Structure 1
Amino acid sequence: MFKKHYKLSSLSVQVVKHPGSPSQVVRHAAKRRASSSGDYDQTWCVVDVDEYRDLEHATALAREENVELVVSNPCFEVWLLLHHTDHRKWVRNYDAVKSLLLRHVPVPDDKSVNFERDYHHDEDGNPRWRQAVTRARRLAEEGREHLENPSTGMWRLALAIHGCAD
């Protein structure tokens, strides 16, 4: 939706879901990029902390494989919550984050995001994603998101995508 809204015609995004631990996701992304004949300029993996214990390994593997690893702790929805509020208190899990997010926007059962409806601009016309970037950067040092709750590295991917418009 970010690409569509900002009319980033030079940007090509391929979303591939791969179940497994963060290390398995990084390995899958690295293999996919290697077999693509140089079709990708950047490769990103987006994972949640959830119950995984291999995040240190996944972080090291991502560096080794030249894959950008985005970690949200405890879950991706922290990123969405930061579009609406500067939440800094520890949250147990997805259900807790969902309950906080529901104070601001509907949260569909399928976890889909409606960028235009929920996350584009606030009531003053400011881009919510830029506010989320500022808030997320204060939560954890870059690369240490897996250690801090709440936190998310999604701000890096948002800036990388938006940078394609510059």
Structure 2
Amino acid sequence: MILCEGKTEKDYFAGMRSRRGPQIDVDEPKGDHLAVVHEAVSRVSDEYDAVWCVLDTELDETLTAEMMREAKRGPVDLGLSTPCFEFWLILHHVDCARPFQKADDAKKRLKELVPSWSESNTKFSDFADGTDVACRRARKLDPDAGDPLKNPSTSVWRLVESLQRRSEPDK
């Protein structure tokens, strides 16, 4: 189960589903970041191997700490991106270690790289070929996913690699 804070994230992961891959339920519950994490905690059950939330840190230390505290109650795994999920999408196309002042700067950079991209029209096919390299780039920036506010960084690679492992024939 993957709960996303926005349409961009939901469209990306919904597009990742395949007949041969793991079963992925993707949802975009209403509410703010903490409401999404709270909803994820309420959905933890034996029905799912794991429950994840994919969220932006918004460069907000207090918000990030609250999301992490709430997730531990689940337990829920967090795929956090600083400043925003669009940074994860950037890594599919280029290496990028330059900090962003705000999320809109990352979105502008993504639009330069993928002119057809918009928040309301995210297609996994625009990013599929770069998934493995995005994981490598993200891991290099924050190898243990230990600093969710490192700008830029994303721990979404942990979720994607988990999904890829479940897609392997022996799994």
Deviation of 1:140 after TM superposition, in Å, equals 2.1
Distance 1:25 1:86 in 2: 30
Q: Quick check: 1:101–1:107 contact (8 Å CA) kept in 2?
A: no
Corresponding residue for residue 125 of structure 1: none
Corresponding residue for residue 39 of structure 1: 47
Q: Quick check: 1:19–1:25 contact (8 Å CA) kept in 2?
A: yes
Distance 1:107 1:153 in 2: 25
Shifted more, 22-31 versus 139-148: the winner is: 139-148
Distance 2:72 2:150 in 1: 20
Corresponding residue for residue 58 of structure 2: 50
Q: Quick check: 1:72–1:145 contact (8 Å CA) kept in 2?
A: no
Which has more radius of gyration?
Answer: 1
The residue matched to 1:103 in structure 2 has which SS? helix
Aligned residues: 153
Deviation of 1:132 after TM superposition, in Å, equals 0.3
Corresponding residue for residue 85 of structure 2: 76
RMSD: 2.0
Deviation of 1:98 after TM superposition, in Å, equals 1.9
Query: Are 2:40 and 1:16 equivalent residues in the alignment?
Result: no
Deviation per residue, 1:31-65 (Å, 9 max, x gap) = 1235xxx2111100010012643211221322232
Distance 2:166 2:159 in 1: 11
- Map 1:58-137 onto structure 2 (within 5 A): 58-116=67-125, 118-121=126-129, 128-137=130-139
Which amino acid is 1:97 matched to? A
Corresponding residue for residue 139 of structure 1: 141
The residue matched to 2:148 in structure 1 has which SS? helix
Distance 2:116 2:106 in 1: 10
Corresponding residue for residue 124 of structure 1: none
Distance 1:65 1:33 in 2: 6
Corresponding residue for residue 3 of structure 1: 17
Structure 1 pair 165–85 and aligned structure 2 pair: CA distance change class (3 A): same
Deviation of 1:147 after TM superposition, in Å, equals 1.6
Deviation of 1:100 after TM superposition, in Å, equals 1.4
- Identical pairs, percent: 30
Which amino acid is 1:159 matched to? E
Deviation of 1:30 after TM superposition, in Å, equals 1.2
Deviation of 1:135 after TM superposition, in Å, equals 0.5
TM-score, normalised via structure 1 length: 0.81
Shifted more, 71-80 versus 55-64: the winner is: 55-64
Distance 1:97 1:68 in 2: 24
